[in-house]
Amino acid sequence: MQQDNRLKSLKKSLIQRLSGGRFVYRLPDRSSLYLTFDDGPHAEFTPALLDILHHHGIRATFFLVGKNAARHPELVRKLQEHGHTIGLHTHTHKTLDRLSRNEFDREIELNQNAIQEAIQSRPTLLRPPEGRLTLASLLWAAARGLKVIHYTVTSNDWKATSGEEITEQFAKTNIRGGDILSFHDNNPYTIEAIPSVIERYTKAGFHFLPIS
């Protein structure tokens, strides 16, 4: 398993170097970590998460599903007001590896439109749903002026059965500066775990930054 993870890390690092900055797997600031949240905004859990981040003085990056942004434009505006970066996560959470070029363009266009309706700005950062991506979809993203943001470490919060399970996973994970940490703001266990994650790495001397 560790060997497989190392190979995946090397592959993503190589793609990042070869992409000319259009694919990002790890960032260069070795004193910082990057919290990212997918699938929102969620009516209950996104506001709770915003309160936690505000309490700790942290700005993060939120990759929004277009249909959820259209359903909760007030939360999209609140994310912007709190200084968080807003990115794309397709309109209906379809994975990029299963889309034709026309389907890809439609998912991105609708995703951008939904967010623009709320904040008068069109995001250009894209997180692939489930982290799934093909060379073709990377090229299509680049053609639209998008930067694809992957992640270095996943919390696996989507399949966790408790907040403690998430925090225990991070206790066993080797975190390095520049790592992009993947969470979801649509489940209660993330809300339970995120204060401990923040406190753990703040005590270790890391800063938390949004992706720009």
Q: Which one is predicted more confidently, 185 or 8? A: 185
pLDDT at 59: 98
- Does residue 48 surpass a pLDDT of 90? yes
pLDDT at 182: 98
Of the candidates 131, 192, 133, 134, the one whose C-alpha atom is nearest the C-alpha of residue 167 is 192
- Does residue 114 surpass a pLDDT of 80? yes
Q: The pTM is what? A: 0.95
Amino acid at 62: F
Q: Which of 2-6, 30-34, 49-53, 207-211 is least confident?
A: 2-6
Q: Which two tokens stand for residue 131?
A: 């982290």
CA distance 100 to 73: 28
pLDDT at 8: 80
pLDDT at 10: 86
**Residues identified as active-site:** 38, 184
Q: Residues 138-171: pLDDT tens digits?
A: 999 999 999 999 999 999 999 999 999 999 999 9
122 and 146 Cβ atoms separated by less than 8 Å:
no
Q: Residues 96-109: pLDDT tens digits?
A: 999 999 999 999 99
DSSP 8-class letter at 3: H
Angle between helices 188-203 and 45-56 (to 10 degrees): 10
Q: Which residues pair with 154 in a beta bridge?
A: 182
Q: Residues 60-86: pLDDT tens digits?
A: 999 999 999 999 999 999 999 999 999
Q: What is the mean pLDDT of residues 40-65?
A: 98
Q: What is the mean pLDDT of residues 14-32?
A: 93
pLDDT at 11: 87
* Ordered structural domains, the chain, with CATH: 27-208 (3.20.20.370)
pLDDT at 6: 78
CA distance 14 to 156: 24
Q: Which residues pair with 36 in a beta bridge?
A: 61, 182
Q: What is the mean pLDDT of residues 84-100?
A: 97
- Does residue 112 surpass a pLDDT of 90? yes
32: Cα within 13 Å, side-chain hemisphere: 13
